[in-house]
Amino acid sequence: MNRINNNIQDFFTKWGRAQRQFPSSHEVLKSEILEKLSRESCKVTRVHSRMPWFSVAFAGLAVLMFFITPGQVGRITRVINPAAPMPFAEDAKSGQVSKESAGFPIAPPYYPYEPNIPIADTREFLKTDYQATVYTRNVGELAQRIQTIIRDFGGRVDSASSSSRWGSVSFVVPADWFDEFRDDIKSLVRARFFIEEISTENLLSQEKSIEQQQEQTQETLTELKTDRGQLILTHRSSATSIQSRLDAIRSELAVLQAEVTNNETRLAQIAVRKQELFIEKNAFETRLAAENAEYAKKLNLFDLQIRGVEKNLVYLDDQEEELLDTVATVRGTISLNWISVWSIVHLYFPLCWLSLILIVVAVAVYVVRRRRFRFLI
Compute and round to an integer the Cα radius of gyration of the chain. 53
First to last CA, the chain: 54
Write the pLDDT tens digit of every residue in 19-60. 666 666 666 666 766 666 554 454 544 444 455 655 566 566
Burial class (CB in 10 A: 0-12, 13-18, 19+), 131: buried
Above 90 in pLDDT, residue 112?
no
Backbone phi, then psi, for 170, in 5-degree steps? -105, 140
pLDDT bucket at 104, cuts 50 / 70 / 90: very low
Is residue 228 scored above 90 in pLDDT?
yes
Count each helix (H run) and each strand (E run) in the chain, helices first: 9, 9
Distances (CA, A) of 54 to 13, 65, 361: 55, 17, 9
pLDDT tier for residue 229 given thresholds of 50, 70 and 90: very high
Which has the higher per-residue pLDDT, 19 or 74? Answer: 19
CB 373 within 8 A of CB 49: yes
The DSSP H or E segment spanning 61 is helix 53-67
- Average pLDDT, integer, range 272-298: 90
- Count of other CB atoms within 10 angstroms of residue 185: 20
Domain annotation for the chain: domains and CATH numbers = 208-326 (1.10.287)
CA 52 to chain centre: 55
Mean per-residue pLDDT, 187-199: 90
Poorest-confidence range of 20-24, 202-206, 224-228?
A: 20-24
Q: Measured between alpha carbons, how far is 137 from 149 in angstroms, rounded to an integer? A: 19
> β-pairing, 329-338 with 126-136?
parallel
Task: Give 82's pLDDT tier (boundaries 50, 70, 90).
Answer: very low
Angle at 201 between CA 157 and CA 135, to 5 degrees: 45
pLDDT category, 271, cuts 50, 70, 90? confident
pLDDT over threshold 60, residue 13: yes
User: Model-level pTM?
Assistant: 0.55
- Return the percent helix, strand and coil in the chain, to nearest 5: 60, 15, 25
Out of 90-104, 111-125, 347-361, which region has the weakest mean confidence (pLDDT)? Answer: 90-104
> How does the average pLDDT of the chain come out, rounded?
76
